[in-house]
Structure 1
Amino acid sequence: MTFARPDHISDLDMIPRMPAWVTTTHAETLEDVAFLSGAALDHLHLVLSRVDLPHALLRDRLALRAAEACVAFFGRPERAGELRDAVHLLRPGDLPGPAGETYLAWRRAAERPVSIKALGRALPGFEPGQIAGWLDTGQGMPVARAAMVLEAVLTDAPHAEMAALILAEAALAQVLDWDHVVPLLAAGLNRADLRKQGDDLRLACHRALISSVAEAVRLAADLARRAAHLKAVAPKLRAKKSGDAVEMFLTRDAVAPGALPMPDRAARRLCDRLVDLGAVRELTGRSTFRLYGV
């Protein structure tokens, strides 16, 4: 599949919505569903080509969605808020717990360009040669290749659902010539899908991508608008290191004031100022241990 790549698009109003027929067309056969998922990926590829998109922020927020789906596969109760707390409120020496480890794995998988080393950092329980072997599984079109990798990992390691999904996303990115993992499959699949094989698994992956890509495109448009507003108000900030703080907000799903490169009191004031300017949101609804994000 060949994707067109625009030379330069900077008008936020030009971020296109997913064509309605992609998500509303009723398709049953593998061929028809594959056509729809291909159209969805083509559309997302154009969106990801934009220079005005906060790519790292989008991947980090999609990583949160993927982690939320994975902990649900494991029957755990944690959702987005608890996952953020488990990672962003960690103190030196603390352990993130199983749910936090899941979120950290997805963040690590998406934050660096796809490579065996980066994937090994996300999945330290597996040897680099094992990861490379799984990624070399199969050939063919993007979704078929991702499904083959997913099936291969789960055949060798039936309880390694998260690793299988991360490596399937990596295979998808490689075939699409994306530099980074863009978490999509996990949020659209369910645990029963992961027990499927062959054409049934490919069909499930195509369906998962149709819904997940539509959500990713909506999220990309929203984050692009929010990031543009944050950049617009940044010159109004007078605090020392405020530029570095803004850059953190533009690349991370959530930020604790204590993580900002300034004294705690100044960091809290900066966060309050950004909330007043409508540039970031307080994500927890708490009066203490707050987290902020675009």
Structure 2
Amino acid sequence: MTFARAHSIECLATLPRTPDWVTSGRAETPEDVAFSSGAALAHLDQVLARNEVPKALLRERLALRAAEASVTFSGRSERARELRDAVHLLRPGDLPGPAGGDYLAWRRAAERPVSIKSLSRAVPTLEQEQIAMWLDAGQGAPVSRAAMVLEVVLTDAPRDELSALILTDAALAQALGWDYLVPLLAQGLNLTDFGKRGEDLRLACHRAVASSAAEAVRFSADLARRTAHLRAVVPKLRAKAAKEAVEIFLTRDAVTPSALPLPNRAARRLCDRLIDLGAVRELTGRETFRLYGV
């Protein structure tokens, strides 16, 4: 084992894991649930501060999970494979379709620092003044503030769950002092929660945050391990611009060979080499129009 590989494993071993009592599901009272969600967020905040966690890639993976949830809330059946195809195989001038549009919205919301302008780019159907007004509706502690934003958006636009969820995660990020939106709420809520208001909705948001933040910590540890291995194999790559290509894999959920800074044939060979080294995976199971990711 090389020194770099051994050092990576040592670093990953120090990533704090979520305490079992946070994820046990035993919290019953509103106070217990709020305490669990706060502990889960504090733990995730510590993990996101670690250099070995690929934060851009983590947000992309969580955006994909959030898009799956949003699509389900809309009554559609597309899952990760279809969502990736809808976005990554788009040709210039093509439209991604409703499900792909949800995925694009989540990716755009999470890829730039939170601002009214970046949120308007993610949900262009909303006016910037409307976004600012809704975000200002939240007050108090982070999850309470997020729940208030979710409630006011669902009250004003009851059929726009996508915008409501994106703005709720944006409000949570702002309350926590995070520069970037981290998709959390969508994965933890269910369709019946959108009909709740007041304390019932706040409690649903606390439960959603507790479970989703713990899952984000698990994702972080897994991606940290995978990206450490990817970085470790870079010296074994002979292709020109291989290092630049690896940097793309370190920030994106899925990559087409054409997205790499190499001629198409060389890019495909590099992807195959990375698969042989156990550094990336082929995500589609197809022989053509393939996608690759860490």
* TM-score category of the 2 structures, normalised to the smaller one: over 0.9
C-alpha distance 284-168 of structure 1, shift in aligned 2 (>3 A): same
Superposed CA offset, 1:164-191 (max 9, x none): 0000000000010001000000001011
CA distance in 1, matches of 2:270, 2:195: 48
The corresponding residue for 1:129 is 129
Alignment of 1:1-294 (within 5 A): 11-294=11-294
CA distance in 1, matches of 2:138, 2:253: 34
Q: Normalising by structure 2, what TM-score? A: 0.95
Shift in Å, 1:88 = 0.6
CA distance in 2, matches of 1:184, 1:250: 21
The corresponding residue for 2:5 is none
CA distance in 2, matches of 1:276, 1:132: 48
Q: Normalising by structure 1, what TM-score? A: 0.95
C-alpha distance 98-25 of structure 1, shift in aligned 2 (>3 A): closer
SS at match of 1:117: helix
Which letter maps to 2:135?
Answer: L
Shift in Å, 1:138 = 2.8
CA distance in 2, matches of 1:23, 1:102: 29
Contact 2:142 2:175 in 1 (8 A): yes
CA distance in 1, matches of 2:13, 2:287: 36
Shift in Å, 1:25 = 4.7
- Give RMSD over aligned pairs: 0.9
SS at match of 1:209: helix
SS at match of 2:170: helix
Superposed CA offset, 1:66-86 (max 9, x none): 000000001101000000000
Consecutive unaligned residues of structure 2, counting only runs of 5 or more, are: 1-9
Superposed CA offset, 1:37-92 (max 9, x none): 00100110000010111000000000000000000001101000000000011111
CA distance in 1, matches of 2:13, 2:231: 17
Shift in Å, 1:261 = 1.4
CA distance in 1, matches of 2:33, 2:159: 28
Contact 2:138 2:147 in 1 (8 A): no
CA distance in 1, matches of 2:25, 2:124: 41
Shift in Å, 1:11 = 1.3
CA distance in 2, matches of 1:156, 1:241: 50
SS at match of 1:243: helix
Which letter maps to 2:132?
Answer: A
The corresponding residue for 2:7 is none
Which letter maps to 2:106?
Answer: W
Superposed CA offset, 1:191-217 (max 9, x none): 110111000001001111111111111
The corresponding residue for 2:3 is none
Contact 2:22 2:40 in 1 (8 A): yes
Superposed CA offset, 1:115-160 (max 9, x none): 0000000010000010001010131000000000001111111111
CA distance in 2, matches of 1:243, 1:57: 17
Stretches of 4+ aligned residues off by more than 6 angstroms: none
Consecutive unaligned residues of structure 1, counting only runs of 5 or more, are: 1-9
The corresponding residue for 1:4 is none
Contact 2:185 2:212 in 1 (8 A): yes
SS at match of 1:192: helix
SS at match of 2:138: coil
Superposed CA offset, 1:17-36 (max 9, x none): 11001111512221110001
CA distance in 1, matches of 2:79, 2:25: 31
CA distance in 2, matches of 1:186, 1:138: 18
Give the number of aligned pairs: 285
Contact 2:138 2:171 in 1 (8 A): no
CA distance in 1, matches of 2:27, 2:242: 50
SS at match of 1:262: coil
CA distance in 2, matches of 1:55, 1:263: 28
